[in-house]
A = this chain, B = another copy of it.
Amino acid sequence: MQTMQKLKAVGVKPSITRIMIYDYIFSTKDHPNVDEIFITLKETLPTLSKTTVYNTVHLLKTHRLIKAYAMPNHEMRYDANLDVHAHFLCASCGQITDVLIDVCDIVQTVISENCIDETVITFHGTCSKCQTSV
């Protein structure tokens, strides 16, 4: 689907800024942070402000067009891949690679290629207690 259609579909007005920010997150596979998005797009959008990047990723995230992952070094990385998938974070070069998991053989897939120090699996949602207390 075209980016413009994706934005319209969730009720977000497809301004050129928003399209370019989404497109960048979608096209690059390296899970960029706000700085990377800002610096890269600044070249083609000279008036772009970092605040707009923050606003836009927040907007895109709110409308579930992208996902945000908190990294160990306290920065957010953004990802347009909405499929449930794992990430491999290299302690040496910092690269974040997608790990397409089959749920069942999660560990196997990665262990074969990389040296795993730690596995972090987090589910976000609403707990049963909070669901009933609404």
A interface residues, Cβ below 8 angstroms from B = 67-74, 76, 84-93, 95, 97, 99, 101, 103-104, 106-107, 110, 113-131
Contact for A130 among B90, B117, B120, CB less than 8 A? B90
- Chain B residue, CB-CB nearest to A127: B90
Residues of B within 8 A of A70 (CB): 70-74
Number of copies: 2
11 further A-B pairs in the complex, CB-CB below 8 A; given A114-B125, A120-B121, A122-B122: A70-B72, A70-B74, A90-B129, A92-B130, A93-B129, A95-B127, A99-B121, A106-B106, A118-B123, A120-B120, A121-B122
A125/B131 in contact, CB under 8 A? no
Chain B residue, CB-CB nearest to A67: B118
* Contacting residue for A125 out of B72, B104, B116, B126, CB 8 A: B116
The contact sample of 5 A-B pairs, CB cut-off 8 A, is: A92-B126, A92-B127, A118-B123, A119-B123, A122-B122
